[in-house]
Amino acid sequence: MVVGDFPEEVDTLVVGAGPGGYVAAIRAAQMGQKVTIVDKGNLGGVCLNVGCIPSKALISAGHRYEHAKGSEDMGIVAENVSVNFDKVQEWKGKIVNKLTGGVESLLKANKVDIVKGEAYFVDKNTVKIMDEKQSQTYKFKDCIIATGSRTIELKPFPYSDRVLDSTGALNLKEIPGKLVVIGGGYIGTELGGAYASFGSEVTILEGTKDILGGFEKGMTQLVKKRLKKKGVELVTEAMAQGVEETDDGVKVTYEVKGEEKTIEADYLLVTVGRRPNTDEMGLEDIGLEMDDKGLVKIDKQCRTNLDNIYAIGDIVDGPQLAHKASYEGKIAAEAISGEKSEIDYLGIPAVVFSDPELASVGYSEESAKEAGYEVVAKKFPFAANGRALSLNDSDGFVKLVTRKSDGLVIGAQVAGPNASDLIAELGLAVEAGMTAEDLSLTIHAHPTLGEAVMEAAEVVLGMPIHTA
314 assigned binding-site residue: yes
187 assigned binding-site residue: yes
186 assigned binding-site residue: yes
Tell me if the bond preceding 54 is cis, omega within 30° of 0. Answer: no
190 assigned binding-site residue: yes
Q: What is the 3-state secondary structure (H, E, C) of the chain?
A: CCCCCCCEEEEEEEECCCCCHHHHHHHHHHCCCCEEEEECCCCCHHHHHHCHHHHHHHHHHHHHHHHHCEEHHHCEECCCCCCCHHHHHHHHHHHHHHHHHHHHHHHHHCCCEEEECEEEEEECCEEEEECCCCEEEEEEEEEEECCCEEECCCCCCCCCCCEECHHHHHCCCCCCCEEEEECCCHHHHHHHHHHHHCCCEEEEECCCCCCCCCCCHHHHHHHHHHHHHCCCEEECCEEEEEEEECCCCEEEEEEECCEEEEEEECEEEECCCEEECCCCCCCCCCCCCECCCCCECCCCCCECCCCCEEECHHHECCCCCHHHHHHHHHHHHHHHCCCCCCCCHHHCCEEECCCCEEEEEECCHHHHHHCCCCEEEEEEEHHHCHHHHHCCCCCCEEEEEEECCCCEEEEEEEEECCHHHHHHHHHHHHHHCCEHHHHHHCCCCCCCCCHHHHHHHHHHCCCCCCCC
364 assigned binding-site residue: no
331 assigned binding-site residue: no
- Is 444 an active-site residue? no
185 assigned binding-site residue: yes
148 assigned binding-site residue: yes
Point out the catalytic residue in the list 63, 67, 444, 446. Answer: 446
State the Cα–Cα distance between residues 49 and 34, nearest whole angstrom: 27
Report whether 278 contacts 315 (CB < 8 A): yes
State the Cα–Cα distance between residues 135 and 388, nearest whole angstrom: 57
313 assigned binding-site residue: no
State the Cα–Cα distance between residues 315 and 278, nearest whole angstrom: 7
56 assigned binding-site residue: yes
Which residues make up each annotated binding site for NAD(+)?
A: 183-190, 206, 273
Catalytic site residues? 446
Residue list for the binding site: 56, 147-149, 183-190, 206, 273, 314
Q: Which residue ranges are tagged as binding site for FAD? A: 56, 147-149, 314
